[in-house]
């Protein structure tokens, strides 16, 4: 047990340090405002309320279940989109910062993951509280699946971030293409719309959009949707592919990526 603690202690120490730095940076970004960093969850909550009000399907789902559906999906989508759109120029703009702080390439991307993770944690806390207040009976044993889902999403975020940045190093114009694609993907992801039956054309978007599976897994973890095993299996396969691709890309490129920037 002691040997295990000694192994993981440096990683936990690094995680705490990164999260503390992320907190300080986020706090400085809202310095002088009344809410401070609470603007992060407040903005998410406000936008989710607006989406839930405007796009609520009449007669099929109640307003509270639909709001929780939108909120949980939007929080998950924010983490996914940030992993992509905020990764187009990490090496180009922050590599000197990494060298100055002895982070290295892996440390730099770990630090950026901590930044995204800090905001994600604040927004996820809103989901936890909202479900607890508005639909407490949704909670069940499936909430333990978050212990699988969140680490999986973090690893996918780390791998996807590196892959996106590596591509934009070779093809700088891809940065704008990626940003535009993610904005379009927002509407093709079941954040604020429902698939009412399998004959609905939107069912194809739900099936063939990889981001959809992370939204469904998040909602199932909170009991907002029925637990479906094949969703988790497909989500796990997608995650393994992205993580493996990111690991291979890092191994093949980390030695010369400094010269590419």
Work out the average pLDDT over 131-145: 95
Structural domain for 105, as ranges: 2-260
Which of 11-20, 23-32, 105-114, 251-260 is modeled with the greatest confidence?
A: 105-114
Classify residue 176 by burial, with Cβ atoms within 10 Å: 0-12, 13-18, 19+. Answer: exposed
Between 160 and 260, the more confident residue is: 160
Burial state string for 155-172 with b = 16 or more CB within 10 A and e = fewer than 16: bbbbbbbbbbbbbbbeee
Contact between 159 and 240 under an 8 Å Cβ cutoff? The reply is: no
Give the integer Cα–Cα distance in Å for 104 and 239. 25
Coil, strand, or helix at residue 130? helix
CA 34 remoteness from chain centre = 27
Contact between 70 and 52 under an 8 Å Cβ cutoff? The reply is: yes
Q: Give the tens place of pLDDT for each residue, 58-104.
A: 777 889 999 999 999 999 999 999 999 999 998 888 877 777 777 78
Work out the average pLDDT over 217-237: 97
Provide the pLDDT for residue 214: 98
Residue appearing with tokens 């279940």: 65
Q: How many domains does the chain have?
A: 1
Q: Give the tens place of pLDDT for each residue, 87-96.
A: 999 888 887 7
Stated pTM of the model = 0.92
Give the integer Cα–Cα distance in Å for 120 and 183. 19
Contact between 105 and 98 under an 8 Å Cβ cutoff? The reply is: yes
Q: Answer yes or no: is pLDDT of 117 > 70.
A: yes
Contact between 114 and 15 under an 8 Å Cβ cutoff? The reply is: yes
Between 104 and 181, the more confident residue is: 181
Provide the pLDDT for residue 1: 58
């Amino acid at each position: 047990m002691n040997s295990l603690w000694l192994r993981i202690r440096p990683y936990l120490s690094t995680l705490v340090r990164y999260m503390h730095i992320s907190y300080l940076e986020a706090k400085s970004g809202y310095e002088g405002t009344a809410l401070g960093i609470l603007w992060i969850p407040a903005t998410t909550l406000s936008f989710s309320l607006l989406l839930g009000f405007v796009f609520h399907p009449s007669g099929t789902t109640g307003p509270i279940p639909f709001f929780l559906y939108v909120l949980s999906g939007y929080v998950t989508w924010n983490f996914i989109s940030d992993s992509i759109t905020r990764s187009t120029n990490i090496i180009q703009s922050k590599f000197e910062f990494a060298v100055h702080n002895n982070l290295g390439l892996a440390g730099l991307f770990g630090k950026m993951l901590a930044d995204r993770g800090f905001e994600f944690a604040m927004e996820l806390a809103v989901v936890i509280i909202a479900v607890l207040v508005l639909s407490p009976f949704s909670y069940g044993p499936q909430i333990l699946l978050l212990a699988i889902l969140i680490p999986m999403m973090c690893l996918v975020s780390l791998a996807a971030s590196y892959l996106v940045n590596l591509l934009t190093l070779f093809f700088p114009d891809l940065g704008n293409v990626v940003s535009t694609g993610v904005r379009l993907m927002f509407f093709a992801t079941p954040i604020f719309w429902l698939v009412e039956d399998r004959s609905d054309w939107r069912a194809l978007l739900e099936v063939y959009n990889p981001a959809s599976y992370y939204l469904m897994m998040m909602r199932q973890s909170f009991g907002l949707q029925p637990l479906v095993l094949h969703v988790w299996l497909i989500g796990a396969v997608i995650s393994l592919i992205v993580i493996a691709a990111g690991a291979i890309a890092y191994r093949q490129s980390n030695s010369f990526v400094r010269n590419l920037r």
